[in-house]
Amino acid sequence: MNKVLIPTKLDPIAAQILTKTGNYEVVQDESSDLSTLAAQNTDTYALIVRSEKVTPDVIDALPKLKVVIRAGAGYNTIDIKYARAKGIDVMNTPGANANAVAEEVIAMMLADARHIVTADPSTRAGKWEKKKFMGREIANKTIGIVGLGNIGRLVAKRLSGFDVELLGYDPIISNERAGEVGVRLTDLESLFAACDYITLHLPENDETRGMVNTELLGNLKPGATIINCARAGIIDEEAMRTAKKEKNIRFLNDVYPKDAEGDKSIADFADLMLPHLGASTREANSNAATRAAEQLIDLDEKGVSSYIVNRDIPQGLDEQYCELANLLSRMCHQLVGKANKPKLLETSFYGSLADFADWLVVPIVAGLKENADSSMDEAAARDFLDEMGIDYVSRQTDPSKGYGNSITIDLTSEIDASNLRKISIRGTVAEGIVMVARINEFNKLYFEPQGSSVLFLYDDRPGVLGTIGVKLAEADVNIEDTRNPHDQETNRSLAIMQVSHPVDQAVIDDISETIGAIAAFSIKL
């Protein structure tokens, strides 16, 4: 019988489910610290935690530990690399708290609109301040949802009874999927300009950190309300502080750089602050507990590994091909245009990579959306594509083409209701270097996809490459590497240049107009 240690306040349903199988002995203790419990239960096989820190010391104190499950989505409190080095699988339960967060958003909107928080103590004190607490209604307002993952779509569903117009921004979800929950997709700037309420549901990463900045906030209507139940770093605090003064906006917040007691840097301008209560419901706790128990059973009895977040790379697969798959996917997404919604993803795995086709689809999917978990399995990756409304085809390959170990990714996206754009890229690893071998009809590129690059597609004629170089030099951009293939059938050329730093869109537009480019892109990989 395997011992499961639960050193946290978790719904008892987890212990009940595990015990009922007859295969587990469960020790649950929320009052003792984890280090003490680890010392007392050195024969622990599986550990189920919430926010407890699972450090190398804790792992070393449990020599028989094989599984750690975070009953929740985030797992930053667990040293997943050390766990993998010790042969320990780490799992999470994403989505278990999605409804709780969605309902919290609605609660915050209503509480602020009707002054619930301040009116209660006033009335208890014997006051009658009806004029002071004049509120506003949510009905007939325009509400923007930034990020249409599980939580964002649930927010849309919960708002459907309020008779509101819903706008959404998400760089990958299809118009059809958004339409299923009553959301009309638009660009981020237009959303901020049109909405009375904006609720944020994005991960914090290099792409989203500080995204809500001075420029974006400048588009806001006076008196608009922003709700952040996602991540603190998405918002530029100083920009929000300034916008609040200038436009009298409302700011409702539930997330902070650290979940801990102490002064909060936004306290001077936030209108409503909660101590990260998004997942703090009995139902969410029960859902996470149930999922944790069921995932452990499925892992042990059926080998289901969908939610392992520190998977090993399969034996025989070079890790660089995982990097290649992810880079090609990200490059496809940028070249096809991130504002355009992916409709079809097609992949071809040549040589020995064909044996790892199911595994390699995961870094490809992760490349399309940065908050897709790169440690999910193939089934979870396909589920993610289905949720986003993206069809997936894994093509049979022809060994006679002689491509060796290489990967081809084709991404077709919707520009508008009647126009599609397709980008096809093939890459390989040569002499230990990840390389792009082909982009659309332009073959034998052997371009190393890293850093900042610019690409220009144009009708071939003398002098174009020089014009591009002059324009970049005028913008103080240095060219570090260049490929300039020509296609005789179309009489088109592709200029792909690795440059010293990201190029402003205004510079790209200027070059494009000057050379009459068919397409022009700036990408960062």
* Tens of pLDDT, residues 99-140: 999 999 999 999 999 999 999 999 999 999 999 999 999 999
pLDDT at residue 19 greater than cutoff 60: yes
pLDDT value, residue 121? 96
pLDDT at residue 525 greater than cutoff 80: no
Residue with tokens 């040569």: 430
CB-based contact 82:39 (threshold 8 Å): no
The domains of the chain, with CATH numbers, are 2-96+283-302 (3.40.50.720), 98-273 (3.40.50.720), 313-436 (3.30.1330.90), 450-525 (3.30.70.260)
**216 or 304, higher pLDDT:** 216
pLDDT value, residue 451? 83
DSSP assigned state of 235: B
pLDDT at residue 375 greater than cutoff 60: no
- The stretch 344-358 carries a mean pLDDT of 92
CA distance 213 to 198: 14
Measured CA distances, 231 to 77, 210, 313, 402, 430 (Å): 16, 10, 30, 47, 39
- The stretch 275-286 carries a mean pLDDT of 92
For residue 264, name the pLDDT band (cuts at 50, 70, 90): very high
pTM of the shown model: 0.77
- The stretch 37-52 carries a mean pLDDT of 94
For residue 370, name the pLDDT band (cuts at 50, 70, 90): low
Residue with tokens 């958004």: 178
CA angle 144, 214, 202 (to 5 degrees): 40
pLDDT at residue 374 greater than cutoff 60: no
Percent of the chain with pLDDT over 90: 64
